[in-house]
Amino acid sequence: MNSALDKIPVSVLIPAKNEERNIRACLDILKRADEIFVVDSQSSDRTVEIAESFDKDPDYGQVRVVQFYYNGHWPKKKNWSLENLPFRNEWVLIVDCDERITTELWDEIATAIGNPDFPDLVDYGRRSPLDGPRRSPLLLTILIQNLLYF
């Protein structure tokens, strides 16, 4: 893959803290994503360094590392990220560092995003009648019975 045309219009959110053992393998399988945010909680290992190195790779969409400072209360990392990060895509896929997205799952995601009537798509959007025509980024949850992780 070496073309922006191969990218799926999805933003990926990766929550991380001290994940140098997992972050490279996680990012390796995210080449099809248009945009990736690694939201780090002050890692003391090489997590940030490794993640930032992917932004220089032309096979990847934009990879950004953002620091999150948890205050012991609300909001937590994922909620804060969904509300505050400047996602450029309508769909946001949350991937933990120890998770791997298969080629088949990427294909299902591409199909789902391209087809609003896709039967296995569950859309947990944060919408309000006050939002008007602007749609906030949504959390993409795909339920695929044949591609469960064991």
User: Could you report how far apart the first and last alpha carbons of the chain are, in Å?
Assistant: 28
Which residue ranges make up each domain of the chain?
4-147
Instruction: Name the residue with higher pLDDT: 36 or 114.
Output: 36
| pLDDT tens for each residue of 45-63 | 999 999 999 998 888 878 9
- CB within 8 A of 81, min separation 6: which ones? 13, 15, 37, 39, 66, 68
Residues of the chain with pLDDT > 70: what percent?
73
Question: What are the backbone dihedrals phi and psi of residue 130, each rounded to the nearest 5 degrees, phi first?
Answer: -80, -15
State how beta strands 121-124 and 91-94 pair.
unpaired
Measured distance CA(147)–CA(99) in Å, rounded: 13
The whole-model pTM stands at 0.76
pLDDT tier for residue 149 given thresholds of 50, 70 and 90: very low
Taking only the tens place, the pLDDT of each residue in 101-145 is 888 888 888 888 887 666 544 444 434 444 443 333 333 443 332
